[in-house]
Every structure is written in structure tokens, then in C-alpha cells.
Amino acid sequence: MTQSIQHENEPRANALRARLDTINGIGQRTYTPTQIVVSRARGVRLWTVDGVELIDFTSGVLVSNLGHNHPLFEERYSHYCAELPRTSYNALTEIEVEAAERLVKCMNMSGPRKLLWAASGSEGIQKAMWCALHKKPDCPIMLASRGGFHGKKGLAGDVSGETSPNPNVRFISFPMQEEKPASFYESELDAIAKECGNKIALLITEPYLGAKGSWHPPKWYHKLLQDWCRANDVAYIFDEVQSCHGRTGNMFAYQSYEVEPDLVVLGKGLANGEPAAAVVGRADLIDSLTYGEASDTFSGNPHACAAVCATLDVFEKENIVENCRAMAKVIGVHMCEAMKKFSFIKAVRGEGLVYGIEMSDDATAQRAVLEAYRGVNEKGVHFLGPLAGKVLRVSPPLTITEKDLDDAFSVLNQAWVRI
């Protein structure tokens, strides 16, 4: 039997955590030291069942890019969903066609492009990989950037981390702490190509390594990978599950890094909280799969597609990306000031509205999450559990304002003195 997380002065939340602990497997959730119990949410704020107000620095793991209960999103979503079924297996609706057309158009990529829907990011990753493998059926080798996270399931899990149970996976280096020239990465790729001959089907990478601790490479790195893939007829797959829809200061991270991948996997912010993912890319790769090879029960369901359209409506009518760029400067100043004030903050890394705050050690990072949650005067800041042991991810909704950020760091500056 597991023991639920309990906090002082939280009678309702503690009772609910304990009830869930008796019936829900512990593996359902990723561990966080807070395990907040939310009663309502609006904008960038969450309220717990015990009345504490939290500024959300998670966006629900980079999902609610438009914030919670965004008025225009909710209005458009309800409009699109009116009288639609919730199922789509071997059927289609007009909203699915509209969502697909609008999504491909807004990505503004060259050449014929098509789309495959998925119900989660890891499923989208697998479908992208299937496309590349089916396109070159005699080429089983898959390259992945070391330290990436693409999911826990199947092929997505095989290309995550630094080692793989799949004998056809090879890992390449990703710029992190080391300062190595472009020639190092070129040599590494060429050595793998020499070892594997012409048997490489794909190379998959994230724009930045989020789960590894928020490592953001120089632009030349992704350009180097793209050039090498094109020269070697290897499908270049960009995992934008967590970085799409404005997170890096552009609508898509491939725009931030000035590349045009063969396949781009979208998720999380794609539908602002509704379960949806998509693979968008070269039509010849997408069309390498025939009937049934990419089908599943929930992909492309009308309500998910309605949420995709509602999300695009908000991005088109409001200055979401522009606000992200503006607030990136504000949050950067706040984090640099916090680093000067607190000696346990060792580094700050990021772009747009996704940052990592590296703490001195794992225990301090856990304490920082808890103290931010406890906050001051029933106001706090909600973080996820630390990434890679000691890095706090900062990923608030892209609708956050300068006042919201001032309020959040006012709380943190008071709460973290207790560490």
C-alpha cells in the first residue's frame, strides 16, 4: 500500500489524496512533492480545494498555452462541438477536414504536406517513425539525440534517454554542458553512417531537451542535422510535442531554429488541453502508410479537432506569440535577479516561455517546489517536480502578464528565503 502526500492545513486536499490512494495505482502520475488538488482554474491561476491561490508555472506540463478557461477558446470550442459525435473511427466530420487544412496551412512549409492525427504525443512520435520506416523498408536504423524524451511507449520509448533495448537505435550527441565544434557532431554522424551503411531511416530530435534539464542548442546544431539528413536521404523528425504553438517565441520551434524538418510531431498545446496530437510533414512520407497502418480509436475525433480549430482561432485573433516574446524578456530579468539573490540557483537556461532553473542539488530543488507551493499568505507558485533531479521547469501559460510575473516572483523571493 502506498501512502498519499499530505500537507499541513489542507484537510480537504489531504482527504482527497488519501481516498485516491486507496483506489488509484501510484504509477498513474509522475511524482511531484506537492500533488496539488485543484478546485478551479482561470487564466494563469489555480485554486486548491483548501482555498490557496497559485500562479501556474506549468501550463499542465506545457499543455494549456492559452491558460485555463480562456474565454474565446471556450466559446469557439463550444461552437465547433455543437451536435458533433465524439467518435471518428472509419468516419469523418467537416471539423476534422477544417482542422487538418488550417493546421497544415499555418505551418507554411514548402512542398506537398499532409497530416496524421494521434491521441497523444508518444503516439504521434510512433506514427512519424512508422512513416519513415515504411518509406525505406530495408533501412531499420534509427538515430536519436541522446537525452531526449519522446514518450514511454513502443518506438517512442526506444528512442528516449541514452540507451535503448532496441538494437536498431543509435544515439548522437546533443549540445549541453560541453562546448564542442560543429565538426564533432558531423564526425559522429559520419561514423554512424559508415558503421550502418545506407540502412538509416530516420533521425529524431527535440528542438531543446526539456526533460533532461532544459538544454537549448545553438541554431547551427539543428541546421547541421538537417543538412546531414538531406545529404544522406534520412527522414529528419522534429519532436515538437512540448514546444509547438508559441512556446519558444514562434508559433513552431522549427521556425525558431530556422529549419524545415521532414516530419514535425505536435501535441500538448496543439488543442489547449484536449487530448490531441498530429504528425505534419512530407506527403510522400505520410503516404507510405496505407489503410489501417496508422488508425486507432480516438485519433482525429471531432472534439479534439474542434479544440485544434478553437486554439488556432485564439492565436489568430489575439497576440499570443507576441506576448510570449515580450514576457520572455520580463521573466528572464526576474530569473537573473533570483539567481543573484539565492546562492542555491546555479544556472538559468531557456527561450520564449520555457526555462529551466538549475539548483545546487536534488534536495534543494524539491524544497524549492514545496516552498513555492506553500508561498505566503495563501498565495503560491505551482511548479512541476524537478526535471533531471535538480532543474525546475518554468513554463507558464503564454497569456501571462507582466503583473502576473511580478506577483509570482514576489512570492518566490519571500518563500525561497526559507530554504
Q: Which residue has the cell 504553438?
A: 245
**What SS3 state is found at 226?**
helix
Beta 345-351 vs 354-359: how paired, if at all? antiparallel
Q: How far apart are CA 102 and CA 9, in angstroms?
A: 48
Integer Cα distance of 208 and 387 in angstroms: 14
Of 129, 214, 132, 217, give the one whose Cα is nearest residue 173.
Answer: 217
Count the neighbouring beta carbons within 10 Å of the beta carbon of residue 4: 17
Q: Which helix (H) or strand (E) holds 354?
A: strand 354-359
Give the dihedral sign, CA 166/172/174/178: positive
pTM of structure: 0.96
Please state, in angstroms and rounded to a whole number, the distance separating the CA atoms of residues 178 and 194. Answer: 25
Buried b (16+ CB within 10 A) or exposed e, 73-98: beebbeebbeebeeebeeeebebbeb
Where would I find the beta strands (DSSP E) of 84-150?
Answer: 113-118, 141-145
Give me the DSSP letters along 131-177.
HHHHHSTT--EEEEETTB---SSHHHHHTSBS--S-TTEEEE---SS
Sign of CA dihedral 183, 188, 194, 199: negative
48 strand-pairing partners: 38
Rounded to 5 degrees, what angle do the CA atoms 18, 22, 23 make?
125
| C-alpha grid cell, residue 44 | 494563469
All three cell numbers of 226, joined, read 538537417
Q: Residue 29 has what pLDDT?
A: 86
pLDDT per residue as tens digits for the range 190-234: 999 999 989 999 999 999 999 999 999 999 999 999 999 999 999
Q: Which residues of the chain have pLDDT under 70?
A: 1-2
Q: Tell me the pLDDT tens digit for each residue of 25-82.
A: 988 888 899 999 999 999 999 999 999 999 999 999 999 999 999 999 999 999 999 9
pLDDT for res 1? 52
Burial of 167 (0-12, 13-18, 19+ CB in 10 A): exposed
CA distances to 77, 229, 390 from 385, in Å: 31, 35, 9
Burial of 237: CB neighbours in 10 Å, binned 0-12, 13-18, 19+: buried
257-283 burial, b at 16+ Cβ within 10 Å, e below that, comes to bebbbbbbbbbbbbbbbbbbbbbbbbe
**How many whole angstroms separate alpha carbon 123 and alpha carbon 150?**
10
Starting from the edge strand earliest in sequence, which strands make up the sheet with 38-42, in order?
A: 38-42, 45-48, 53-56, 379-382
Question: Are the beta carbons of 266 and 254 closer than 8 angstroms?
Answer: no
Domains and CATH numbers, the chain: 11-62+319-418 (3.90.1150.10), 72-317 (3.40.640.10)
